[in-house]
């Protein structure tokens, strides 16, 4: 009944890389000063898992490092704004969009043409599995002259410019593609930094692309290392071995210079997903009992030490439009007596706060009368059983805007009968109806209003219990200026980032 899945949490990691920052690999030591054009040294928590394929989570990594870009990008408000496309317009009732390209070059020196862009989008549409932003969407792309590309869909798609902002739909030079449809991203993208050397899944070297259409980057390049252990990333920042350490564990924040700690509200939530297809939580009364047992403020203060706020719904404070449009859930079941019901609660330890959050939930649910077995694994070892519905409940972290920036698209993916990311295995006729109605709206305000009605219907099923809205905590050395941590987790380093 459900389509092929690729979860969108960006979760896979490597074992700890001991001492990997002793040499930056750029001919300078940690104490070499902050010369103009110095390379940036970055520690990232999640390693490439698909050989830098642009069609999965590795695309988000490449986007944060300033390597790739598509026709559009998201601004701070989640609106599609120009990137490789200067402008666009819709035709044929929203089934066709025409994008006018700016004057730009690929990192191999070739001009960005409409033919090359159309070929890139066509290749993405043929990828298996398809990038999450176009899952279920039949997309066609044809050049019209050198500077215009027509992108069409079978059904009217009012949010196509938002979809095309997804890093998985980035544009690459013709030479990037082989006969099997695989993409070599080394030196073939369009961003301000070109990937020039890959050290397996442990490190990468990037050099400045001087012909970038948006202007010459101020840093001469980037030395990136992938380190799963959050304490190691914090220590590397503390000792001056890195300039930027992404996604710091909240437990490490107090040990750092306060001027190096930067936080931003994100569209990422932690939620408790209840299995509605099999096991104890097929009973709506037991789902209601679980919801009533949970005190989210304890999780925000305990597991996240204040770097999260209790959830108000699926869409948090980073999405400033949501609060004024929220609709109260209706029709919730009456809580049943758990009476010692056995449940298995699962989570992963790649995000260090999740096991602690799960332990708090275990205590709260046991106090309410459930018998709770806690299962904690790395995500790589958890995914198969999670997708197979082997657990009664799962604590999971999800950036609600990561795929498209469109709230309706994420509701369709996560909570409808045919959703590709439906961890609760929810299949509810009313939810599907309201999501479909939201998908039909083309105006931004109308689409948001419809999304919030659908959100209320989802919450009314108690298939998911939102726990906290997260803050992104990044470590940025005081010598660094212009870093770009953002609520959508798509950017980190740009043309103005320097040390």
Mind listing the pLDDT tens digit for each residue in 58-81?
999 999 999 999 999 998 878 899
Kindly state the helix (H) or strand (E) to which residue 137 belongs, with its residue range: none
Residue 373 lies in a domain: yes
Helix (H) or strand (E) holding 61: helix 58-64
More confident residue, 441 or 463: 463
Higher pLDDT, 397 or 31: 397
Q: What is the pLDDT of residue 12?
A: 35
Give me the residues paired with residue 153 across strands: 139
Among residues 139, 174, 209, which one ends one of the domains? 174
CA-CA-CA-CA torsion for 44, 50, 54, 59, nearest 10 degrees? -20
**pLDDT at residue 30, as a whole number:** 33
Q: Are residue 204 and residue 130 in the same domain, yes or no?
A: no
Q: Cα(423)–Cα(272) distance, rounded to whole angstroms?
A: 10
Same domain, 52 and 169: no
What's the confidence (pLDDT) of residue 442? 84
Same domain, 251 and 327: no
17-26, 274-283, 489-498 — which is least confidently predicted?
17-26
* pLDDT for residue 79: 87
| pLDDT at res. 424 | 98
Task: Tell me if 305 sits within 8 A of 251, measured CB to CB.
Answer: yes
Average pLDDT over residues 391-410: 90
Contact between 8 and 57 (Cβ < 8 Å): yes
Q: Check pLDDT > 50 for residue 29.
A: no
Q: Indicate if 157 and 78 belong to the same structural domain.
A: yes
Total structural domains within the chain: 3
Would you say residue 180 lies in a domain? Answer: no
For residues 151 and 223, membership in a common domain is answered with no
Q: What is the pLDDT of residues 204-224, one digit of tens each?
A: 999 999 999 999 999 999 999
Whether 472 and 263 have beta carbons less than 8 Å apart is answered as yes
Q: Is residue 354 domain-shared with residue 487, that is, in the same domain?
A: no
Mean pLDDT of the 295-317 span: 95
Average pLDDT (409-434) is 93
Q: What is the rounded distance in angstroms from the CA atom of residue 324 to the CA atom of residue 103?
A: 40
Mean pLDDT of the region 250-277: 94
Answer yes or no: do 329 and 377 share one domain.
yes
Minimum mean pLDDT among 20-29, 384-393, 416-425: which range?
20-29
What pLDDT shows up at residue 241?
A: 97
Provide the 3-class DSSP secondary structure of residue 143: strand
Half-sphere exposure of 39 (CA within 13 A, CB side): 22
In a domain, 186, yes or no: no
Mean pLDDT of 399-427: 89
Percent of the chain with pLDDT over 90: 73
* 311 shares its domain with 431: yes
Q: Is residue 389 part of a domain?
A: yes
The whole domain housing 35 covers 1-67+191-257+478-499
Average pLDDT over residues 289-314: 96
CA dihedral 46, 122, 162, 308 (to 10 degrees): -10
Q: Does the pLDDT of residue 54 top 50, yes or no?
A: yes
Residues 321 and 426 in one domain: yes
Residues 343 and 450 both lie in one domain:
yes
With respect to residue 444, please indicate whether it lies within any of the assigned structural domains. yes
Greatest mean pLDDT among 133-147, 322-336, 361-375 lies in: 361-375
Q: Please report the pLDDT score of residue 379 as a whole number.
A: 86
CATH number of 138's domain: 3.40.190.10
Q: How far is the C-alpha of 199 from the C-alpha of 178, rounded, in Å? A: 21
Residues 107 and 151 in one domain: yes
Checking if the pLDDT of 1 tops 90, the result is no
d(CA 184, CA 461): 44
- Answer whether residue 185 is part of any domain: no
- Asked if residue 181 is part of any domain, the answer here is no
Quick check: is 183 in a domain? no
pLDDT tens, position by position, 81-136: 999 999 999 999 889 999 999 999 999 999 999 999 999 999 999 998 888 888 77
Q: Residue 50: is its pLDDT beyond 80? A: yes
Percent of the chain with pLDDT over 70: 93
């Amino acid at each position: 009944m459900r389509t092929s899945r690729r979860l969108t949490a960006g979760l896979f990691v490597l074992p700890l890389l001991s001492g990997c920052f002793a040499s930056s690999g750029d001919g300078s030591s940690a104490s070499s000063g902050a010369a103009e054009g110095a390379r940036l040294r970055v520690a990232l928590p999640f390693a490439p898992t698909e050989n830098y394929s642009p069609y999965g989570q590795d695309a988000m990594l490449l986007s944060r490092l300033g390597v790739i870009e598509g026709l559009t990008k998201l601004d701070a408000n989640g609106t599609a704004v120009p990137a490789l496309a200067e402008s666009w317009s819709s035709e044929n009732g929203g089934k066709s969009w025409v994008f006018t390209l700016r004057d730009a070059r690929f990192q191999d020196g070739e001009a960005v043409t409409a033919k090359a862009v159309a070929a890139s989008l066509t290749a993405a549409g043929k990828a298996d599995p398809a990038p999450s932003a176009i899952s279920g969407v039949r997309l066609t792309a044809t050049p019209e002259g050198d500077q215009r590309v027509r992108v069409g869909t079978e059904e009217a798609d009012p949010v196509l410019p938002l979809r095309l902002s997804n890093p998985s739909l980035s544009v690459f030079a013709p030479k990037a593609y082989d006969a099997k449809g695989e993409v070599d991203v080394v030196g073939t993208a369009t961003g301000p930094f070109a990937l020039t050397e890959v050290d397996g899944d442990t490190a990468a070297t990037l050099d400045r692309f001087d012909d970038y259409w948006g202007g010459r980057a101020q840093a001469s390049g980037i030395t990136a290392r992938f380190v799963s252990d959050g304490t190691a990333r914090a220590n590397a920042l503390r000792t001056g071995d890195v300039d930027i350490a992404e996604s710091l564990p909240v437990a490490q924040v107090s040990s750092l210079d306060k001027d190096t700690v930067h936080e931003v509200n994100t569209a990422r939530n932690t939620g408790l997903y209840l299995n509605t297809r099999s096991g104890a939580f097929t009973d709506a009364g037991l789902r209601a009992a679980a919801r009533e047992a949970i005190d989210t403020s304890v999780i925000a203060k305990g597991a996240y030490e204040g770097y999260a706020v209790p959830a108000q719904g699926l869409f948090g404070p980073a999405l400033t439009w949501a609060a004024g449009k929220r609709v109260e859930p209706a029709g919730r079941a009456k809580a049943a007596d758990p009476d010692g019901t056995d449940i298995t609660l699962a989570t992963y330890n790649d995000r260090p706060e999740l096991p602690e959050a799960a332990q708090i939930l275990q205590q709260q649910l046991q106090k309410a009368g459930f018998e709770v077995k806690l299962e904690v694994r790395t995500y790589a070892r958890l995914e198969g059983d999670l997708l197979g519905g082997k657990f009664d409940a799962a604590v999971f972290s999800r950036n609600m805007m990561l795929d498209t920036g469109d709230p309706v698209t994420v509701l369709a993916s996560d909570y409808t009968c045919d959703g590709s990311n439906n961890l609760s295995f929810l299949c509810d006729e009313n939810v599907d109806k309201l999501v479909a109605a939201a998908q039909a709206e083309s105006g931004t305000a109308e689409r948001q209003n419809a999304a919030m009605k659908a959100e209320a219907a989802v919450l009314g099923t108690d298939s998911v219990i939102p726990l906290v809205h997260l803050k992104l905590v990044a470590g940025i050395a005081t010598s660094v200026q212009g870093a770009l941590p953002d609520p959508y987790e798509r950017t980190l380093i740009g043309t103005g980032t320097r040390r």
